[in-house]
Amino acid sequence: MSEIAGQALLQKSVADLVAASDNPELIAQLIPGCNGLHRIDVEHIEGRLATQVAGIPIEAAVSVRRTVEVLESGITRLHLRLKVRPDIGGHALVVALIDLTEASATSSNASWRTSTELDPMLAVMAGQRVEEYLRTSIDRLIAGLAN
């Protein structure tokens, strides 16, 4: 398991970022190789992806769980959980906790912590490559919410 932290000024209000994070079409465009997502319930969207990880073709089921929490401090915390289940078996997971505060009427300060988890089979087969795909995917997802 690895953890990464980051921060950025995103050019959308907190409300607009939260709304963007609930858009299955936008989320699908931001996950490399995703063929589309559909809503399962209020918190879950899922679909399929076909991509390459370090030159190796991968087809997988993908699911995203999203929840929003407003903390007492006024921070809006966006929880994103991206799970990839390759057709060959196993699973990989990346979780991001994104804290959002208003910087202006049209921008937000974002800070996040992400952690990845691979089941033992994937860790042995392609651990570093899969973790890099997960990190790239979640970073792209966070940045893309502001576009």
**The domain spanning residue 46 has which CATH number?**
3.30.530.20
Question: CA dihedral defined by 99, 104, 106, 110, rounded to 10 degrees?
Answer: -20
pTM of the full predicted structure?
A: 0.86
Q: What is the mean pLDDT of each run of 10 residues along the chain (147 residues)?
A: 86 96 94 92 95 80 96 96 87 92 95 87 67 82 88
pLDDT at residue 56 in the model: 76
pLDDT at residue 129 in the model: 74
pLDDT at residue 123 in the model: 62
Q: What is the residue range of 14's domain?
A: 3-144
pLDDT at residue 52 in the model: 80
Number of domains in the chain: 1
Q: Give me the residue label for tokens 């089979």.
A: 121
Q: Where are the alpha helices (DSSP H) in the chain?
A: 14-20, 24-30, 120-144
pLDDT at residue 125 in the model: 64
pLDDT at residue 117 in the model: 85
Rounded distance between C-alpha atoms, residue 13 and residue 11, angstroms:
7
- Cα 12 to Cα 65, 67, 105, distances in angstroms: 22, 19, 8
Q: Which residues contact 65 (CB under 8 A, 6 or more apart)?
A: 43, 44, 79, 80, 81, 83
pLDDT at residue 19 in the model: 95
Query: Quick count: other Cβ atoms within 10 Å of Cβ 89?
Result: 10
pLDDT at residue 147 in the model: 84
